[in-house]
Amino acid sequence: MLVLIGLLSLAVGTKYIPLPEVWTALFAPTGSYSDTVIASRVPRTILGLLVGAALAVAGAVMQGVTRNVLADPGILGVNVGAAAAVVTGIAFFGVGAGVGSVWVALPGAFIAVLVVYVLGSAGGRATPVRLVLAGVVVSAVVATYIQALALSLPEVFNAYRFWVVGSLAGRDPQLIFDILPFIVLGLVLSLGIASPLNALALGEDTARALGSSVGRTRILGALATTVLAAAATAGVGPIAFVGLAVPHIVRAFTGNDHRWLIPGCIVLGPALLLAADLVGRVIVSPNELMVGVVTAFVGGPMLLLVVRRMRGAA
């Protein structure tokens, strides 16, 4: 499915290229016009592959760390922290929402997570419930700062309004090389803590009895989630619901074992994001609907289904 959607991502656009010609352009280019069109679409598809995998795995790890099936990468303020850093860079340091923004977004995401962790551990141990509540508070405050800055400075608003929706279109190919090291690092960390996440799912006491370090697992999980979500957000802007929806879909095939869940997310996350991007290209053709809007339409019903299943299980 991922291979087919990837080929369709290269084929569909203002000019449709038949799949056989796409295959030829990739593996036996002749220098034709179709080859040129395909070459211009390759960076967009690669960016979708990286960002889709990053967001899906970040959601799976966050759900495992917090033991909350409704968790997504934004629960610790990662997305809003990255967005606030980008807006601040645009407003005061002349940083555009493009190449180089990843170096601004990453520190912002880490600072937001650190603040959430400090607030969540104030007066006691940082439990999942405390972290979630602290994340909600920090996200609300930082979102207000973003809105105030964007509405006060027209130049910030003009740059930010296109970035904040989330889109794969019009991104500089250099972004792929900027975010690739961080996404690879995040994926390696996530795969490395798959077994400890399985132990944590049984409860903290059981995880400790099995020899797993709960604190270490949570720290590495938060680090992996922050790196993945911040790199993805810096590259294409905030994209909602991929981190929430994909792990639930994958669990229908793999169960709750993170040793299978995380690799499944690496495959299905890009497929879902590229499919949403394809829908955005076709549904209002010859114009495009940004992928962040499409995922929001898909993710909303998905969230309702998950909540209803939880209510039925209760």
pLDDT at 307: 62
pLDDT tens digits along 81-91: 888 888 888 88
Dist. CA 266–CA 124, nearest whole Å:
35
CB 108, CB 81: distance < 8 Å: yes
Query: Which of 28-32, 96-100, 153-157 shows the lowest per-residue confidence on average (mean pLDDT)?
Result: 96-100
Q: Does residue 4 sit within a domain?
A: no
Q: What is the CATH number of the domain that holds 219?
A: 1.10.3470.10
Tokens matching residue 47: 């960016």
Q: Does residue 261 sit within a domain?
A: yes
Q: Does residue 44 sit within a domain?
A: yes
Average pLDDT for 111-120: 86
Q: How distant, in Å, are the alpha carbons of 98, 162, 192, 205, 206 from that of 210? A: 45, 48, 17, 9, 6
pTM (global) more than 0.85? yes
Residue ranges making up the domain that contains 252: 40-313
Dist. CA 227–CA 249, nearest whole Å:
23
Q: Which residues contact 129 (CB under 8 A, 6 or more apart)?
A: none
Average pLDDT for 264-279: 94
CA nearest to 170, candidates 295, 54, 291: 291
pLDDT at 124: 66
Q: How distant, in Å, are the alpha carbons of 87, 112, 121, 215 from that of 298? A: 27, 27, 35, 34
Q: Does residue 34 sit within a domain?
A: no
Q: In this predicted model, which residue has the larger pLDDT, 22 or 234?
A: 22
Query: How many domains, in total, are found in the chain?
Result: 1
pLDDT tens digits along 135-180: 888 989 998 998 888 888 887 777 777 677 788 887 888 889 888 9
Tokens matching residue 245: 């929806």
pLDDT at 125: 67
Q: Does residue 11 sit within a domain?
A: no
Q: Does residue 79 sit within a domain?
A: yes
Q: What are phi and psi of 158, to 5 degrees?
A: -65, -40
CB 241, CB 299: distance < 8 Å: yes
CA nearest to 231, candidates 56, 84, 109, 49: 109
Which residue do the tokens 């803590």 mark?
193
Q: Does residue 82 sit within a domain?
A: yes
Q: Does residue 35 sit within a domain?
A: no
